A and B are shown apart, each in its own frame.
Chain A
Amino acid sequence: MRDRAEIRTSERSEDFRGMLARMEREGHLRRVTKRISPRHITALCAQAPAAVLCQAVEDYDIPVVGGLYWTRARLASALGWPESELGSRFARAAARPHAPVIVAEAPCQEVVLTGNDVDLTALPIPFMHEKDGGPYISAGVAFANDSELGPNAGCYRLMFRTRREMAIDLFTASDLRRYYTKTYERNQSLPVTIAVGVHAFEHMAAAYKAPAGVDEMEIAGGLRGGPTRLVRAKTADIMVPADAEIVLEGELLPNGWTADEGPFGEFAGMQGDLKRNPLFRVSAITHRRDPIFYALQMPWENDWLNGPATEAACSRVLGLAGIQVAAVRATEGGCCGWSVVASIKKRAGEGRNALAALLSLPVVKQAIVTDDDIDIHNPNEIEWAITFRCQADKDIIILSGMKGKHVDPSVRPWDLKPGELPTTSKFGIDATIPEGIPSFRYERIVPAFRDEVRVEDYL
């Protein structure tokens, strides 16, 4: 077994395929050697017990991998972190950003295609969901520069349109939308690069809504514990991850929000709407000699990439409220952000204080708070606490008129006027032991002589 120092050293320099190899060793990735059509990859990923690396994709000599972060366990494996520490490790890493290092030569540029050789149909871009508007690049990490705002990285979906054009979803507020709006208003294009197949550290950092002026690749360095390797794109003054599998270089055209894009199976688990969005025109494709195409699978892979940041935010607001946190978990059913559970070392009144703090986070719509004797990674324990420590008329709080999100059909976004923002109600369940009830009333049963019996001695 390797010691901790060795593990940390390898984490610092690990690339996407190094991550895949480790996930395979840990049983979280399986190779598929049977031929498969790009139209069947998502259906396979949705049913497979592990992430899959499809090595024989019909019509293509590029393998496709998908389902990497479909569960908390797979994300933990990808990051090389313990499952229970995703949020706390993210918080520590984000607080210690590490500047990237610029390299002159990079694996992602072993093959450079420009001019008439640029052809998106040469990539195995899969068709993913029944009512999608076309094949999608779902794992694209977009990089752009702004003279005032600096470099930016973010996650955006792109719908195949022609050999050199894709429609990109810039519908909701984002840094890239801000950058694009500036060039659009001058009727100019915005140079952009799209990296496909980057390590979970870089992908998670790009998905993180970093404060303005913070370079997401510095956050990636914090997560990695060492610098992310970047290289200058071949046709644009933009730095891209040197160890990416594939990079598309091009520009967002100043067509504004006019090109049809979508529907696409979205992060909340529902088929989204048809939208009007900008076009991305590709001027160069660079890739490794033997690239792997990454098809991120909706919704859970997208959701889990945000889970650690949500847990970190929960811990932060609870800390600001002076509450001692034992554990925080963003739950899968709530898309790893809308629903959270926290266990705390409670003092009188802090169950409700904790709920108020958690529900103040924009994304959190429902929250449960338990005492620290509850294992919040076990749904049965949470249900037990709610059942026996909660009186519905006293311990459930409902807040109305809070900031909501368009993606939630229950806020009836279609009834809103253009530009109007939705509001939502939120609820919290205080499942801590009520004040005034002595803790011995909740004494748990313990099997007699538990320490003297080992299952493996009998089964």
Chain B
Amino acid sequence: MTDGKHADPALVLRIEECLREPVYFRDILDATRDQKYRAILLAWSDIRSRHVLERDEYGRYWRAEP
């Protein structure tokens, strides 16, 4: 759960899992429909703060393996 200020670690992990392959941002919203919109943005903020995300020519995101 998010407290409204910090990302939910479990949700962060779920989104990171999505980013194993190229996905549109819409795909991330689709994969997390059970979550509140703001919680998704907080998790996204956490991910973008900690990782450099790759983008392909279509604008899809993915996370290069560390």
- Asked if A7 CB lies within 8 Å of chain B CBs, one says no
- Asked if A274 CB lies within 8 Å of chain B CBs, one says yes
Report whether A38 and B25 are in contact in the complex, using a CB–CB cutoff of 8 Å. no
Q: Tell me the smallest distance from the CB of A349 to a CB of chain B, in Å.
A: 50
Residues of B within 8 A of A262 (CB): 59
Nearest B residue to A159 by beta-carbon distance?
B25
Residues of A within 8 A of B26 (CB): 127, 130-132
Identify which of A60, A132, A263 contacts B38 (C-beta below 8 A).
Answer: A60
Report whether B25 and A132 are in contact in the complex, using a CB–CB cutoff of 8 Å. yes
Report whether B44 and A134 are in contact in the complex, using a CB–CB cutoff of 8 Å. yes
Number of residue pairs spanning A and B whose beta carbons lie under 8 angstroms apart: 61
- Chain B interface extent, by class: 20 to 34
- Chain A interface extent, by class: 20 to 34
Q: Tell me the smallest distance from the CB of B17 to a CB of chain A, in Å.
A: 19
Report whether B5 and A119 are in contact in the complex, using a CB–CB cutoff of 8 Å. yes
Residues of B within 8 A of A161 (CB): 45, 48
Contact with A along B32-44 (1 / 0, CB 8 A): 0000111101101
Report whether A162 and B48 are in contact in the complex, using a CB–CB cutoff of 8 Å. yes
- Asked if A16 CB lies within 8 Å of chain B CBs, one says no
Report whether A121 and B49 are in contact in the complex, using a CB–CB cutoff of 8 Å. no
Report whether A133 and B59 are in contact in the complex, using a CB–CB cutoff of 8 Å. yes
Contact with A along B44-63 (1 / 0, CB 8 A): 11001100010101110100
Nearest B residue to A271 by beta-carbon distance?
B59
Report whether A121 and B45 are in contact in the complex, using a CB–CB cutoff of 8 Å. yes
Contact A274 B59, CB 8 Å, known A161-B45, A163-B45: yes
Report whether A39 and B37 are in contact in the complex, using a CB–CB cutoff of 8 Å. yes
Identify which of B42, B58, B59 contacts A121 (C-beta below 8 A).
Answer: B42
- Asked if A290 CB lies within 8 Å of chain B CBs, one says no
Contact A59 B49, CB 8 Å, known A134-B44, A274-B57, A274-B59: no
Q: Tell me the smallest distance from the CB of B16 to a CB of chain A, in Å.
A: 15
Residues of B within 8 A of A160 (CB): 41, 44
- Asked if A260 CB lies within 8 Å of chain B CBs, one says yes
Residues of B within 8 A of A119 (CB): 5
- Asked if B18 CB lies within 8 Å of chain A CBs, one says no
Identify which of A37, A120, A134, A260 contacts B37 (C-beta below 8 A).
Answer: A37
